[in-house]
Each structure stands twice: as structure tokens, then as C-alpha cells.
Amino acid sequence: MAFIIALTIWAVGWWINGRLANGPRSDSRAISLLIPIIFGVTIIAMWEVLVTMLGVSPIILPPPSSIAVRFASEIPILWADFEQTILKGAMTGYVVGMIAAFGVALLADRSEFLTKGILPVGAFMAALPIVGTAPIFVKWLGSDWQSKAAVVGVMVFFPILVNTVAGLKDTSVMQRDLMRTYGAGYWPTLFKLRLPAALPFMFNGLKIATTLALIGAIVAEFFGSPTVGMGFRISTSVGQLALDMVWAEIVVAALAGSAFYGVMALIEKRATFWHPSQRS
């Protein structure tokens, strides 16, 4: 019975989406937004029906409705965790890592030799499981948000560095010659030509780093934290088998991640409005 209802929900959702996607106005903004929403609602409805009707134990998979109830009733705790992990840990680390990466990129940019050295090493470091340094930073800086900020700082440093260094190289000889005919020295060339040309690359790195920042801040809390924070709440709630609370934290993490990325994408749009990728 449960499977029949779930299949019916799926069929209805898919049929609506099929009509919308193959319809005449499928590329309009509203429809492009509506289709994934219908898809998401379909999945959640099937999840709810299957879990409640089959009597799946809430310690395996809680139904979406109980996650929503838990989310609504625990907003003060969720907010405190959000503040500790995202605002203090992830944001501080992100800003510090970003400033450090920009600084090193500008230094490296002054010498051809350093640029050649930093690009491969940075790309290599960016592929490493840096989140594993969390226990070391927790030992050094204590279990509060400072150690999380340090992990996040190191994690976001390399992708931002590599993209910035690559971006600063992305001007043509013709453009640099033009600046020289204007009599522009290093600094005017940097601010008027090379930094603006590097912006699309830099934002690429900054957008990659948003997800890394949240991952670093949450996972580092698995290695030790005060009694507040999203990673702390996830690991203790898993221990208490309160999976609806874990899902509520994951909802917060997903919202925070999308919002963070969205904000960076918005700033990018404002800052690089002249770039072909933004003018379509």
C-alpha cells in the first residue's frame, strides 16, 4: 500500500514536471525554478509516506514532518550552534584565510619564479585532506572557535591562492603594453588592469572556499568543542540517536551553505558585471 501511494506521488510529480519541462515556456525563470521545487516536494512527500506507513524506526530515518517540528521547536539551540560554528568559526577563518591568500598571491606575483613555484604546490595542497589537521589545531588553540577558524583558514587558503595567482597572470601582452604606453607603473597597472582582470578567477576560488569553510568548521568540532556548535550537536545527537535533531542541523548547514554561496555569487555579479560570463 505504502509503495503504491509513493509511486503515485512520484508519477504525479514526474508527470507535472514532464509537462512543464517540455512545455512552450519551459525556459522562463519561473518555470525553471518551479520544476526543481516540485521535484524536491515529490521526494519529501514520498519519504514521509514511506517512513510513516512502513513504520520505519525514527532512529534509522525520521519522517520530514518530525524534522520540521524539531527544527521549529529548537530554533534557539540551532541559532546558538549557527552562531558558534558559522559566524565565529567559519566566517573568521574564511576572512583570515582569504586575506592571507591575497597577500601571498600579491607577493608571489612580483616574481616569475615564485609564481611558477606556488601554482603547482598550491594546487597540490588544495587536493589534500587538510581537514585532518583539525586535531592538531584543537590541541594548540583549545576547543573553542579559534581552532575551528584556524582549520578553516588553512582549508580556504590554497584554492583562493591558486585562483588569485592564476588570475593575476591573465592579462595579455597587448593590454600590459597599453598600460605602459600610458606611463603606468606597477601599482596603477595592478589596480586598474590586473586586479580587475583577476576578479573572475578570485571569485571562483572564493565560491569554492565557501563550502570548504563550512565543512572545516563542522568537521573540526568532531575533534573537540565546547558544548555548543553544529558539529558538536551532530555528533552528540547521533550518540543519543536523536536523528531528527541531526537532520535539523543538516537543514541549517544546507541553508547556511547556499546563503553563503549565494552572497558571494551576488557580490561577484556586482563586481564583475563587465565580464562576458555575467552579461548573458
Partner 1 sequence: MNIRGIIPALVVVGVIFAIWTAAVIPMNAHLTADQAQRDGLVMTPEAPRDRQDFTGLTLAIKNPAIIPLTYTLTRPRLPSPHQVAIEMYETIFTKAPTSRRSLVYHGWVTLSATLLGFVIGTTLGVLLAVGIVYNRTMDKSVMPWAITSQTIPILALAPMIIVMLGAIGIQGLLPKSIISAYLSFFPVVVGMVKGLRSPDGMQLDLLRTYSANANQGFWKLRLPASMPYLFASLKIGISAALVGAIVGELPTGARAGFGARMLVGDQYGQPMVTWAALFGAAITAALLVAILSWIERRTLTRMGMGATA
103 counts as binding partner 1 under rule CB under 8 A: no
Q: How many residues bind partner 1 (CB under 8 A)?
A: 64
Q: State the nearest-atom distance from the C-beta of 268 to partner 1, in Å.
A: 13
Of 68 and 193, CB closest to partner 1: 68
124 counts as binding partner 1 under rule CB under 8 A: yes
* Residue 58: φ, ψ to 5°: -65, -15
Of 49 and 218, CB closest to partner 1: 218
231 counts as binding partner 1 under rule CB under 8 A: yes
> In the chain, which ranges are continuous DSSP H helix?
2-22, 29-54, 64-73, 75-82, 91-109, 112-126, 134-141, 145-168, 173-181, 186-189, 195-220, 230-239, 243-271
Interacting residue with partner 1 among 103, 132, 142, 188 (CB under 8 A) = 132
Tell me whether residue 49 is exposed, middle or buried, using C-beta atoms within 10 angstroms of its C-beta: 0 to 12, 13 to 18, 19 or more: buried
Of 40 and 103, CB closest to partner 1: 40
Tell which residue, 222, 228, 227, 208, has the closest CA to residue 85: 228
Give the integer Cα–Cα distance in Å for 114 and 110. Answer: 8
At 2, the amino acid letter reads A
Stretch 6-65 residues interacting with partner 1 (CB under 8 A):
14, 17-18, 20-22, 26, 32, 35-36, 38-40, 57, 59-61
Of 47 and 179, CB closest to partner 1: 47
132-to-3, 28, 94, 149, 181 alpha-carbon distances in Å: 42, 44, 17, 14, 50
For partner 1, the binding residues (CB under 8 A) are 14, 17-18, 20-22, 26, 32, 35-36, 38-40, 57, 59-61, 113-118, 120-121, 124, 127-129, 131-133, 135-136, 138-140, 210-211, 214-215, 218-219, 222-224, 230-231, 234-235, 238, 241, 243, 246-247, 249-250, 253-254, 257-258, 260-262
